[in-house]
Amino acid sequence: MLRILVDGANRGGPTLIGGGKRMCTVYKIDKTDLGFQLTFGGDMTEAELQTWYQESACVLAGLHLPFGVIIDMRTLAPLPTGAQTVMVKGQAMYRSCGMQRSCVILEDPITTIQFMRLAKKSGIFKYERYIDASVHKDWRLAARNWVRDAVAPPQ
């Protein structure tokens, strides 16, 4: 199993995000039976997302089989402008390398709106669904059903 974990805690320690949760800046790329699970958390900088983009390019190199992606962003704070540009580029890269469908798990309404806008900009919006984990406790099953079988998650 491929697992890349980057913890940005050494750049300033834990950050405080919505609901009083303490979270270090982190991203993770896991290979799964459906394709990939990406995890993003904390206050991500443009430089950190650029590192994620470069590592994703290595992981995706030569991969053109259809695959799905589940993205866990429950603890991610809204991205600053420069980081948004890198995210759009990364979303488009995943799609061009064979991503069929993706499902984003969020808890923050501002981050949700931001990522819907970014998905429209990158061209993946019609292949992506969004689940509010604070409302849907069985978000993992709903996400897998969308990514694997194109069964839309509950609204």
Question: How much is the mean pLDDT over the chain?
Answer: 88
In a domain, 40, yes or no: yes
Q: How many domains does the chain have?
A: 1
- The one-character DSSP state at 34 is S
Asked whether residue 23 carries a pLDDT value surpassing 60, the answer given is: no
- Across the range 34-57, mean pLDDT stands at 96
Both structure tokens of 153: 């998650």
In a domain, 140, yes or no: yes
66 neighbors 82 (Cβ within 8 angstroms): no
Asked whether residue 24 carries a pLDDT value surpassing 80, the answer given is: no
Rg of the chain over CA atoms, in angstroms? 14
pLDDT of residue 136: 94
In a domain, 49, yes or no: yes
In a domain, 154, yes or no: no
Both structure tokens of 14: 């834990």
- The one-character DSSP state at 18 is G
Instruction: Give the domain extent around 144.
Output: 3-149
Short-list 132, 141, 75, 130, CA closest to 103: 130
- Name the one residue in this structure whose structure tokens are 């969308």: 146
Cα distances from 57 to residues 2, 3, 18, 20, 67, in angstroms, run 14, 14, 31, 34, 15
In a domain, 78, yes or no: yes
SS3 65: coil
Both structure tokens of 143: 């996400």
**Highest-scoring range by mean pLDDT, 1-5, 6-10, 11-15, 108-112:** 108-112
Asked whether residue 65 carries a pLDDT value surpassing 70, the answer given is: yes
Between 48-52, 63-67, 108-112, 125-129, the lowest mean confidence (pLDDT) is in 63-67
**Highest-scoring range by mean pLDDT, 18-27, 44-53, 61-70:** 44-53
- Distance, first Cα to last Cα, the chain: 32
In a domain, 155, yes or no: no
Any idea what the CATH number is for the domain that residue 39 is in?
A: 3.30.750.24
139 neighbors 133 (Cβ within 8 angstroms): yes
Span 77-107, pLDDT tens digits: 999 999 999 999 999 999 999 999 999 999 9
